[in-house]
Amino acid sequence: MPIDTTAVSRVITKAVALYNAVNTIRHHNTGRSADYVAEKVKERVTAQSKSWRMDFADASKATKRLKTAEAERIKRVALLMAAIEKQPDNETLCESLVAAMTVSEPS
């Protein structure tokens, strides 16, 4: 299965943003105790992880929808190929097969 570069890019972007936020907390609290800074970092990471879990749930739903749509497309291609074997001169079936085999990129 190919890697979705857009999804990987989003994860990397979020990780870098979290890293920068944690470093900002550490930088702005240099005069405070280590426990205080550790607690603030932990709060930020916890809040971000909750946000990311929500994103993961949404991504899982989208993935399931895409899998279902792809399964339906594959089924349609198989049916059209069987129909073309029976009627090889039917232009409408050939055009439908070409359209069904064309995979559009998600936006």
The runs of H, that is alpha helices, within the chain are 5-28, 34-86, 91-101
Is residue 55 situated within a structural domain? yes
Is residue 94 situated within a structural domain? yes
Total structural domains within the chain: 1
Percent of the chain clearing pLDDT 90 (strictly above): 4
- Looking at the predicted structure, is the pLDDT value of residue 105 above 70? no
Is residue 107 situated within a structural domain? no
Is residue 46 situated within a structural domain? yes
Is residue 15 situated within a structural domain? yes
- Kindly indicate the confidence band of residue 54, based on its pLDDT and cuts at 50, 70 and 90: low
Q: What is the pTM of this model?
A: 0.44
**Residues spanned by the domain of 57:** 5-101
**Mean pLDDT value across residues 28-54:** 78
Judge contact between 72 and 64, C-beta under 8 A: no
CA atoms within 13 A on the CB side of 22: 16
Is residue 12 situated within a structural domain? yes
